[in-house]
Structure 1
Amino acid sequence: MALCLLSPGQGSQSPDMLARLAADPATAGTLATLAPLAGDEALRVAADPARCFANRHAQPLLCLYALAVGAALSAEGVEAALVAGYSVGELAAYGLAGALPAAAVLRAAAARAQAMDDCAPADSGMLAVRGVAIGEIEALAAAHGVDVAICNGDEHAVLAGPQCALDALATTLAAQRGAHVVSLPIGVPAHSRWLQPAVAPFAATLAALPWQRGALPVLAGVSAEPVRAPERAVETLSRQLAATIDWARVLDVAVEMGTTVFFEVGPGNALARMARERHPGLPARALADFASVAGAAAWLRRQLA
């Protein structure tokens, strides 16, 4: 049996997310050690509904959460064979895989957010769409001047672009196609053409990090290829800022590589739900489904036995 850890991106955070880790003996120590590396006020910012969704705070906080949970699972004897991350979660995935130390991941997360904020146009955002064939979503997105940022499945995508264009498209999709649309609490058009100026600065940041070879493979969001080499990690991590992520393909490749269990290490369970939808025959859970890390680890050990 083989475990694939899933590290989420923005939208999964909540003001109580780090309080939960601080109250769990399995994660409290690691959280206390790592939190200062995510910013002097990381714990207070995470608990503030007005700030925890801001791009510059959200990205380091989500990486902090994933790294603390990953360390706790490892201490409980749970070891993964593969790691995948959704958007900024892919950066955290390299920490979970052992390719980057936690401090480097958190520094890079802050730099990633800054690079995106520096070039993101005002009044832009992201929109989740369900219930319409992906080909039709792509065509309507192009007609409205927005990009498909993430492909989550055959009828599920996330779009990015100017907020006015997203609002107009949301009305069309809901009224004329019966789609379920949700405006995401993300103020930058991630994984779209508008962030192309952020790619080179972030690549330079990544290239300067203390990469370690011989780690677990990480599935690149832009290509679903398993990545181990630092040079390839730098290229795919930076390119994804302005390119579509094919998350559906990432899940498929994980299964092709032998994954039999998915586990999400973030504060929500959206990735676990998507894994179950895509591969209903495989167990897929999230820490959010359990009362404690110890409970989650016990479940994982049973699945992997």
Structure 2
Amino acid sequence: MTLAILCSGQGRQHRKMFALTGDAPEAEQLFKHAATLLGGRDPRDFVRREPDETLHSNRAGQVLCTVQALAAAAALADAIPHGAIVAGYSVGEVAAWGVGGLFEPAATLDLVVRRAEAMDAATRAGDGLIFVRGLSREDVDRICAHHGAAVAIVNPGDAFVIGGNREALNKVAADAEAMNASRIVGLPVQVASHTERLAKASVAFRQVLRAASVAFPPAAGARVLSGIDGASVMSAGTGLDKLAAQISQTVQWASCLQACVEAGATVFLELGPGSALSRMIADVRPDLPARSLDDFRSLQGVRAWLARQLAA
């Protein structure tokens, strides 16, 4: 049996997101390092005390989601088998490089801060994202082209994240509703991630990555996937090119999940926050066990579930 680890993106931060990882001794140094990136505020206190607007701000959101993934991987290191497949959704792809052993954990957190800074510098006021389900890709592309928006993420089951300025997104939402889209939701993200509006951020982040230390191939034999095409990272240089390009190119998440299955993944564990990614697997491949850390009450429960599934 082969484990696929899914690293969540922004938008699902919540007050109890560190309920399982917050007390893990293996993660203590990660939380301390993350605090230095949050103005001295411990992430575990940050999520409990800060207002929702701050919790979902770009820089804070990227740090919080990344430290959660890294903390979970550190706490569960004894239960994660050699040769796991690792994929990350949006900023979760940077976390995936850390979870997969390509980046050192502390360096991963430093990199997501630089990523967030590059994105904020390139972002225009009023930019954001919406979610649309129930239309074909052709229809979504046509609506986006008409209003100056773009598909940011392709999810399974005719589900799309769309980026642009607020006026364009409102028009896309109105057209999608008129075309009987089954779901239209504004997302708590203030950047048009994974669209050409952030082209300058891709260039800036690639410059940052030139100084990054990469352990390739990773010691634990992990297979890390690239978000823009679902392909395995086969070299550090090409992988870093794609990691930077992902900021301003469409994330093909449906292809990533399909690549996990084609690579032999039989068990899926989402590190959180939230359970959106594990639910996607449950929707498209209900025969494959898929859970998120948020589904469990303890790390021991996660370990027990992994042991059962991987032994099946």
Tell me the TM-score normalised to structure 2 length. 0.92
Deviation at 1:19, TM superposition (A): 4.9
* Contact persistence 2:130–2:163 (CA under 8 A): yes
* Aligned match of 1:36: 35
Q: Does 1:92 align with 2:95?
A: yes
Query: Which whole-Å deviations, capped at 9, do the CAs of 1:59-111 have from their partners, x for residues lacking one?
Result: 01111000000111113455551100000000000110011101110011000
Look up the equivalent residue of 1:45 and give its one-letter code. Answer: F
Query: In structure 2, what is the Cα distance between the partners aligned to 1:151 and 1:29?
Result: 35
- TM-score norm. by structure 1 comes to 0.94
Equivalent pairs counted in the alignment come to 304
* CA deviation after TM superposition for structure 1 residue 33, in Å: 4.3
| Alpha carbons 1:99, 1:214 under 8 Å: kept | yes
- Post-superposition CA distance 1:127-184 (Å, at most 9, x none): 0111122221122111121000000024101000011110121122123324310100
Judge which range, 65-74 or 11-20, deviates more: 11-20
Task: Report matched runs for 1:75-90 at 5 Å.
Answer: 75-76=78-79, 78-79=81-82, 81-90=84-93
Structure 2 match to 1:223: 229
Query: Partners of 1:197 and 1:178 in 2: how far apart?
Result: 32
- Give, in whole Å, the separation in 2 of the partners of 1:204 and 1:42: 29
Q: Which sections of structure 1, spanning at least 5 residues, go unmatched?
A: none
Task: Output aligned runs, 1:35-74, within 5 Å.
Answer: 35-39=34-38, 40-43=40-43, 44-47=45-48, 48=50, 49-74=52-77
Contact 1:34 1:102 in 2 (8 A): no
2:210 aligned to 207, 211, 225, which one? 207
Equivalent in the alignment of 2:243 = 237
Q: Residue 2 of structure 1 aligns to which amino acid in structure 2?
A: T
Structure 1 contact 15–52 (Cα < 8 Å) conserved:
no
Residue of structure 1 in register with 2:5 after alignment: 5
CA distance in 1 between partners of 2:85 and 2:66 (Å)? 17
Cα distance, 1:223 vs. partner?
Answer: 1.2
List aligned pairs for 1:247-266, cutoff 5 A: 247-266=253-272
Aligned residue type for 1:13 = Q
User: 2-side partners of 1:182 and 1:75: how far apart?
Assistant: 39
Superposed counterparts of 1:133-144, under 5 Å: 133-144=136-147
- Given that residues 130 and 156 in structure 1 are in contact (C-alpha distance below 8 angstroms), is that contact kept between their aligned partners in structure 2? yes
SS at 1:103 equivalent = helix
Which of 153, 170, 185 is residue 188 of structure 2 equivalent to?
185
In structure 2, relative to structure 1, the CA distance for the partners of 1:50 and 1:178 (3 Å cut) is closer
8 Å CA contact retained: 1:262, 1:285? yes
1:154 & 1:3 partners in 2: Cα distance?
23
Q: Secondary structure at the match of 2:179?
A: helix
**Percent identity of paired positions between Structure 1 and Structure 2:** 37
Give the superposition deviation at 1:213: 1.3
